[in-house]
Amino acid sequence: MTTMQSPSDGTHPGAPRSLREVWLICIAHCLTHWYPATFYLLLPLIGNELGLSYSQIGFIMTCQFVAGALSNIPGGMLVDTTGRKGLLLALSLFWVGVPYLLMSFTHDYWLLLLCVSLVGIGNNLWHPAAIPTLAARFPERKGFVLSLHGMGGSVGDALAPVVIGALLAVLGWRSIMLLNVLPGLLMASLILLYLGSLQVARAGTDSDTAGSKKSFEKQTLKQYLAGLKPLFASPGLIMLSLSSGFRSMTQAALLTFLPVYLAREAGFDPFWIGLCLFLLQAAGFAAAPIAGHLSDRMGPRQVVMGTMAMSGVVLLAMAAMALTGGGAMFIGLIALLGFFLYASRPVMQAWLLDLTPPGMGGTSIGVLFGIQALCAAVAPAIGGMLADAWGLQAVFQFLAGTIIAGNLFLLLIPARGAGSGAERAA
């Protein structure tokens, strides 16, 4: 198993290691989610100003997810062949923030589509670099560590709607996008300063002993291509990625149309919409460490299937309640959905890395997020067409179907060798 080690770190094998890199990556992950969460809240305002239909609003997010899907696998290849994890993390964060600066000046729908496509490319370079790095740092507790990484994303998802919702009382959406670029540039600079030289040591090399010859995860093209066959021979790789893809369909369409439903059907102002999105993400924040700990103890299969099944039940309840106009109970269902929907995300990532040969973590995560992005790209467009034809309540019925379908793919993953912890022991 690989071990994350900064080249400048002189600790000895078995010695406690600094968590600085872990927390810095998690905080930076917060910002990679802050920006999309901001955009989801601003999307109804952008749609009103530009006179967009539901289908056009959905197509904006489709473009972002398509660009992300096309960039994920090449991004994973870049991570695994260069090994320059820290540099790529800084580049990703920079790339996510700058297109929002351009959006603040545009009045053209097609230029808006170009900007969100650039965001999709930058945002999806982050995960192939960050997730394998953190998993390699704590190989025996990867479910828990990746839940911390997921919590960082949930913090960004939760805080952005509240902060931006409050700012919309005094600022326009263009001014907010302009100001929003500054935190990303600052964090990218910190990542470059502290983690710019970060690499991950290969399995079987002693990179902790002072004076030892270090061998890092930079690979030749021949070595990389040789590792692709065992990677794709893994029986669970595609099934798990497809399951996660259907889960991403649920999440993408939910985040696109839940604010629109709350604004146009429930009559909420931006502050209350932001508060509802905060509840969705805050519940996910609370669920992540619980799910990560349980997956390390009992294996990921039970955790993922249970949380996805409960997500489907809650979405069916939301679809029924949307027909009657929602209400206070609808807000409670939003929080309950966040708890179950976001609990499965880091556990699925840890499960996938258990299936991945050494040195191919970036590519496996690239495949995972590529399939997720492709599925997520379709969902807002379908949701928009359903909403135009039958109303926004039809979107919630569609979401329940996607999360239930995603759970069915997990049944096709062989139990033996398909997980970690308790599942491997079985």
C-alpha 199/C-alpha 192 separation (Å) is 13
d(CA 135, CA 138): 5
Is the pLDDT assigned to residue 424 strictly greater than 50? no
- What is the b/e burial string over 48-65, where b = at least 16 CB atoms within 10 angstroms of the residue's CB? eeeebebbbbbbbbbbbb
Whole-number pLDDT of residue 70: 78
Higher-confidence position of 59 and 209: 59
Mean of pLDDT values over 252-265: 86
Any domain includes 421: no
Residue of higher predicted confidence among 314 and 220: 314
Sequence-distant (6+) residues with CB within 8 A of 387 are 54, 58, 257, 260, 394, 395
Q: What is the model's pLDDT at position 310?
A: 93
CA separation, residue 44 to residues 12, 40, 161, 210, 259 (Å): 54, 8, 13, 56, 7
Three-state DSSP class for 380? helix
Instruction: Find the range with the poorest average confidence among 11-20, 69-78, 241-250.
Output: 11-20
d(CA 175, CA 190): 25
* 45 domain residue, yes or no: yes
For residue 246, name the pLDDT band (cuts at 50, 70, 90).
very high
Separation CA 372–CA 388 (nearest Å): 25
> For 42-97, how does the pLDDT look when each residue is reduced to its tens digit (9 = 90+)?
888 888 888 888 788 878 888 887 887 777 777 777 777 776 777 788 888 888 77
Handedness of CA 124, 130, 135, 141 (dihedral sign): negative
The model's pLDDT over 312-370, given as tens digits with 9 standing for 90+, comes to 999 988 888 877 766 678 888 898 999 999 888 888 888 888 877 777 777 788 888 88
pLDDT over 50 (residue 210) = no
Classify residue 41: in a domain, yes or no.
Answer: yes
Q: State mean pLDDT over 290-299.
A: 82
Given a cut of 70, whether residue 395 has pLDDT beyond it is yes
Any domain includes 214: no
Total domains present in the chain: 1
Distance between CA atoms of 12 and 210, rounded to whole angstroms? 7
Query: At 302, which amino acid appears?
Result: Q
CATH code for the domain in which residue 386 is found = 1.20.1250.20
pLDDT at site 247: 93
Domain assignment present for residue 165? The answer is yes
Report whether pLDDT(394) > 80: yes
pTM above 0.85, yes or no: no
Q: Which two tokens stand for residue 31?
A: 């910002």
pLDDT at 153: 81
Give percent of the chain above pLDDT 90: 7
Q: Which two tokens stand for residue 210?
A: 């002072």
Amino acid 243: pLDDT: 92
Q: What angle do CA 140, 143, 149 make, to 5 degrees?
A: 120
- 145-202: per-residue pLDDT in tens? 788 887 888 788 778 878 888 888 888 888 888 888 888 888 888 888 877 655 554 4
Residue 225 has pLDDT above 80, yes or no: no
CB 205 within 8 A of CB 13: no
List 216's β-bridge partners, or say none: 201
**Residue 359 near residue 229, CB atoms below 8 Å:** no
Q: Which residue has the tokens 């759970």?
A: 407
Q: Does any domain span residue 425?
A: no
216: DSSP letter: B
Average pLDDT, the chain: 77
CA dihedral 345, 346, 351, 357 (to 10 degrees): 120
Query: Looking at the domain assignment, is residue 97 inside a domain?
Result: yes
The confidence band for 205, taking pLDDT boundaries of 50, 70 and 90, is very low
Domain enclosing residue 281, as ranges? 18-202+235-414
In a domain, 219, yes or no: no
Q: Which residue has the higher pLDDT, 213 or 176?
A: 176
Q: What is the pLDDT of residue 398?
A: 92
Kindly report which listed range (43-57, 127-141, 237-251, 263-277) carries the lowest average pLDDT score.
127-141
